[in-house]
Amino acid sequence: MRIKDLDQLKVREDVFDEITLLALYKMVNKGWISAIGGSISTGKEANVFLADRKEERVAIKIYMTRTANFQKMQTYIAGDRRFLNIGKTRRDIVFAWTRKEFSNLKRALEAGLSVPKPLVFDRNILVMEFLGEDEIPYPQLRVAKIVDPAGVYASLIESLRVLWQTAKLVHGDLSEYNILYGGGKAWLIDMGQAVTPDHPHSIIFLRRDLEQLNRFFSPLCDTIVLIDLMRQITGIPHLPENAGTELSEA
């Protein structure tokens, strides 16, 4: 059911708290969105909804200020020189996280990568391109019908190489849950935690991303040895075998 009266959202206090409602009212008044539709995905940290923006469908991602994983967010924000002077409250961290995802998506898009185009953000809300057809979102990679697994695997490796070398980012939480597959290609989503290569844990995050990628694709096609992948993506030919294993609990 489409919701055009934002007052109706007050019954959903778990998602649409006062902070979120204020941001939504602002977006409606500025013409950034005109209507909110059904849920696309739900999670502990954020919910995504279908929405209208003039004549186009968009996705609205709402980070929940009450239930978001505050400690996890701090792990990725701490050490990112782009976000040094932010407050320490839960609200400050969530607002910074929203701004961080907008920035990361913009950098990835400018590098030519397949990510949802970020449109606007305010407080804990991010408006971005809707990835799907006929109001049906593209499926997560884990449930998608992949005709050519080897081709998709190779394309994702190239995407991660471009992400590191051109966009100067590492995804940091890659898995078959935050890769969508549709329109004949794989799309990277959920970029809030992505950090720059100079982040103290960037190699750790990269190794973990590639471990997840190999774990998913190994039953489907031939995969590349982990350290060879890391060297290929970073462009560092003599990267040590154990690179990224330090502080592996990060």
State the pTM of this model.
0.89
**∠ at Cα 174 (149, 132), nearest 5°?**
65
Phi/psi at 69 (5° precision): -75, 90
- Out of 80, 122, 148, 190, the active site residue is 190
Query: Residue-wise pLDDT tens for the chain (250 aa)?
Result: 344 555 555 545 556 788 888 888 889 889 899 888 888 988 878 999 999 988 899 999 999 877 666 667 777 777 777 777 776 788 888 898 999 999 999 999 999 999 999 999 999 999 999 999 988 999 999 999 999 999 999 999 999 999 999 999 999 999 999 999 999 999 999 999 999 999 989 999 999 999 999 999 999 999 999 999 999 999 999 999 999 887 544 3
Residue showing tokens 């103290």:
200
**Which spans in 90-201 are helix H?**
90-110, 149-165
Catalytic residue, chosen from 7, 173, 198, 228, is: 173
Alpha carbon distance 3, 188 (integer Å): 29
Specify the DSSP class assigned to residue 6: G
Known active-site residue 173: yes
Who contacts 192 (Cβ-Cβ below 8 Å, separation ≥6)? Answer: 63, 73, 76, 97, 98, 100, 101, 104
Are 123 and 95 in contact by the 8 Å Cβ rule? The answer is yes
